[in-house]
Amino acid sequence: MRDLHSRSVRGAPYSMLFANLRCAALTVLLSSCSADLPVQREAQQAEEGVLAAPYSIVCVIHGDGDYLYHDTRGNEYKADEEALAGAKRVAMRNSRAEVFIFHQKPRKHFLFFFPLQDGEFYYYRNGRLIANELYWRDQGQSHFDPEVGLYRRFRSDDQREMVNLFLYCGHQIPEFGGAGYDASYPGRAFTVHDLARGLDGFTRHSARFDLMVLSTCFGSTPYTIGALGSFVRYIIASPDNLHLSYFDLHALERLDLSLRDGDVQAFAKKFARLAFDRLTKDIQTAVSVAVYDVDRVQGFLQSVRDVYDHTLTALQVETPAIATIERCDCADLPAYVLPTMNEGVDVFYRPARFGRSKHKQKHSGWECWRERGLQAATLQTAKPSPK
Amino acid sequence: MTARIAFVSIVMMLLLALQANAGGKGELQEYFSDAANKVKATNNPSEKREILNKSFQTMSKALDMVQSSPLISKDDGVGVDRLKATLQEKQDELAGSNGYVRVPDEQLNAFSDYVVQDMEQADQIITISLVTLLLIIILIVLIVK
C-alpha cells in the first residue's frame, strides 16, 4: 500500500507534466485548425470598387523541397523563404494589384502526433495585407483545390481589363512519375500535368493568364510548355538549371509603371532580361531564360509532339537508370531542328564558365532528353548574346 | 519509471529528428561552400588548387566507402555513381586532364564558385536518400579528422 502510495506521489509530477503537454498539444491542434491568423482582417468589401486593381498576381511557392543555396560569400539561403520575401515585396509595392501568395510548406507535427497545417495563404490588395490564413494542402489528386478555393473566395469580382499573372516557384517539375516532389510527403506525386490541372482550376471562370513565370529548373520542354500553354498567353521559363533557385521578382514591383501600356509581351521580355542580368552577375553555371509566345510556338509543338511523346513514353515504360539519360538542348537532336523551332521564343543564354559545355554559345530555348554520351560533337559557336 | 523512459525517448527522438533535418543535402552543400571560402581566403594559387583537390578527393573517398556499404539501395548507388562522375570531371578540369584545359590560376576563385553552384543544382544529389547523404557526411567528417 505504501509502495502504491509512494508510486502515486512520485508519479504525480509526471501526470501533471503529461496533462500540461496534452493541454498544450490540444491548444496547438485547435489553433492550427482555425482558419484565420490574427492579422489585419480588413473590410475587403469596403475597398472593392473604391480603387480597382487592374493587376492580379497568383504566386505559388513550393517550399517542401529542402532546397538551400549559397551566395559567393558563403551565406546560406532557403530558396522558398527568399521567394516568399520577394513575393511579399511585390505585393506591398503594387498599389493597384491584388496578390495571392500560397506558401506550400513541409509537413510538420507537434509532439510527433499532431499534424500542423502545411500551407499559408496571403492576400494583398492595393499594397495592403488583407488576409493571412493557414490551410491544409490537398492530399488527393487535385493538388490545388484548396488554393483555387481561396483564390475564388478572395478575388475581385471585377475581372474586366485585368492583367493576370501566375508565378510558380519550386524545383524542377517532373514530366512523369513525380513521386517525392514533396520532401515531407515522399509517396505523393506531382507532375506538370498536376500543375496544368491547377491552372485549369484557377482559370475555370475567367480568361487565360496573361503571363506565367515558371521559376523552376528545366521548365522549357515541349511537353511542359504545351501542357501549361493551354492556360497562359506568355510563359517565362528556364530551359536549363536555374540557380539562385528562382527568378528575380523585382521587375514585378510597380506594375502600374512597367505594365502601364498593357503590353504583356514587352513586359515579359523585360522581366526575362532583368532576371538574366541578375543571374549572370554571380553565377558560374549556365544561365538561360526564355520567353514563349504560346500561340506562336504551337506550330513547333505540334511538329515535335509525336517524337517527344514517344521519348517520354519510352522513359516511362523502360524506366532507364537515371545514369543513362540526360537533358540536352533540343537543337542537339536532329528530329527537333525545324524551321519553326525559334518561332515565338526569345532566349537569353550564357554558357557555364567551366565544364564540358562552356563553348556552347547558343540555346534553342527547348530542352529535351537524350542518352548519356550522345553529346553533339559540334557545339554551336554563335555569339553569346541573347537572341 | 515508465513515464520517465517515455519522456526521455520522446526528447531523444526529437533531437534525432532535428539532427536529420539539419543534415543531408544542406550539409553536403556546405562542405563545398566551405572549400570555396578557403580557396578565396588565400592568394596562393597552389594552395587554392590543393584545397580544391583535397575536397574532391575526400568526397570521392567517402563516396567509394558508401558505395561498398550494404546499407545503400540500388537507386542510391546510381546517384552516388553520377556524383562520383561529376566530381571526377571537376578534378579533371582543375588538373587539365581528360581533354580539359587546366583552369587558369586567376580563375580558381570563380571555379570554386562554379563547383558550389553546380553541386547545388546537381540532380543526382536530389535522388540520393537522406540516410545515404548522412552516411556520406559522417564519412567525410571521419576522413578529414
pLDDT for A28: 41
Put simply, the answer to whether A68 touches B7 (Cβ < 8 Å) is no
Put simply, the answer to whether B114 touches A355 (Cβ < 8 Å) is yes
pLDDT at B112 over 90: yes
Which residues of chain B from 51 to 110 reach within 8 Å of chain A, CB to CB? 78-79, 81-82, 89, 93, 103, 107, 110
Smallest Cα–Cα separation from A130: which of A61, A191, A45?
A45
Could you say which residues of chain A have pLDDT below 50?
A: 1-19, 21, 23-50, 376-387
The beta strands (E) that lie in B63-109 are given as none
pLDDT in tens, A106-144: 988 887 788 889 999 999 999 999 999 999 998 777 679
pLDDT for A381: 34
> Which residues does chain A have within 8 Å of residue B89's beta carbon, measured at their own beta carbons?
355-356
Candidates B107, B117, B129, B130: best to mutate against A (most CBs of A within 10 A) is B117
Smallest Cα–Cα separation from A358: which of B142, B89, B21, B46?
B89
Put simply, the answer to whether A70 touches B26 (Cβ < 8 Å) is no
Overall average pLDDT of the B27-32 stretch: 84
C-alpha angle A274-B36-A386 in degrees, rounded to nearest 5: 25
Backbone angles phi, psi at A100, to 5 degrees: -110, 120
Put simply, the answer to whether A323 touches B120 (Cβ < 8 Å) is no
* No. of helices (H) and no. of strands (E), chain A: 9, 15
Alpha-carbon dihedral B82, B83, B84, B87, rounded to 10 degrees:
120
Backbone angles phi, psi at A212, to 5 degrees: -120, 130
Put simply, the answer to whether A323 touches B30 (Cβ < 8 Å) is no
Distance from CA of B125 to the nearest CA of A (A): 11
CA distance A123 to A121: 7
Smallest Cα–Cα separation from B14: which of A215, A108, A125, A279?
A108
Residue of A nearest to B114 (CA): A284
Residue of A nearest to B33 (CA): A74
- Cα A30 → chain centroid: 30
Distance from CA of B111 to the nearest CA of A (A): 7
> Which residues does chain B have within 8 Å of residue A74's beta carbon, measured at their own beta carbons?
33-34, 36-37
Percent of chain B with pLDDT over 90: 38
Overall average pLDDT of the B32-61 stretch: 94
pLDDT at B7 over 60: no
Q: Name the grid cell of B129.
A: 536518400
The answer as to whether A236 is a domain residue is yes
Put simply, the answer to whether A283 touches B120 (Cβ < 8 Å) is no
The number of domains in chain A is 1
The answer as to whether A128 is a domain residue is yes
Q: Name the grid cell of A58.
A: 497568383
User: Partners of B25 in the beta sheet?
Assistant: none
Determine contact, residues A272/A291, Cβ cutoff 8 Å. yes
The answer as to whether A38 is a domain residue is no
Q: For chain A, how are helix, strand and coil distributed in percent, rounded to 5? A: 35, 25, 40
Is A58's Cβ below 8 Å from some Cβ in B? no
Q: State the count of interchain CB pairs (< 8 A) between A and B.
A: 84
pLDDT for B38: 95
pLDDT for B123: 61
User: Partners of A100 in the beta sheet?
Assistant: A58, A123
Q: For chain B, how are helix, strand and coil distributed in percent, rounded to 5? A: 80, 0, 20
> Which residues does chain B have within 8 Å of residue A217's beta carbon, measured at their own beta carbons?
121, 123
Determine contact, residues A221/A243, Cβ cutoff 8 Å. no
Can you give the residue ranges of every domain in chain B? 24-144
- Cα A301 → chain centroid: 23
Smallest Cα–Cα separation from B82: which of B60, B102, B103, B110?
B60
Question: Residue A206 half-sphere exposure, CB side, CA atoms within 13 Å?
Answer: 23
* Domain that residue A344 falls in: 52-371
Q: DSSP assignment of A335-354, as one string?
A: GG--TTTTTTEEEEEE--SS
Put simply, the answer to whether A76 touches B26 (Cβ < 8 Å) is yes
The answer as to whether A40 is a domain residue is no
Q: Name the grid cell of A138.
A: 490537398
CA distance A9 to B121: 58
Put simply, the answer to whether B110 touches A353 (Cβ < 8 Å) is yes
Put simply, the answer to whether B89 touches A355 (Cβ < 8 Å) is yes
Spatial neighbors of B74 by CB under 8 A, at least 6 apart, are: none
The answer as to whether A143 is a domain residue is yes
Smallest Cα–Cα separation from A130: which of A66, A201, A48, A234?
A48
Query: Identity (one letter) of the amino acid at A108?
Result: K
Put simply, the answer to whether A284 touches B79 (Cβ < 8 Å) is no
Q: Taking all residues of chain B, what is their mean pLDDT, rounded to a whole number?
A: 80
> Which residues does chain B have within 8 Å of residue A354's beta carbon, measured at their own beta carbons?
93, 103, 107, 110-111, 114
pLDDT for A245: 65
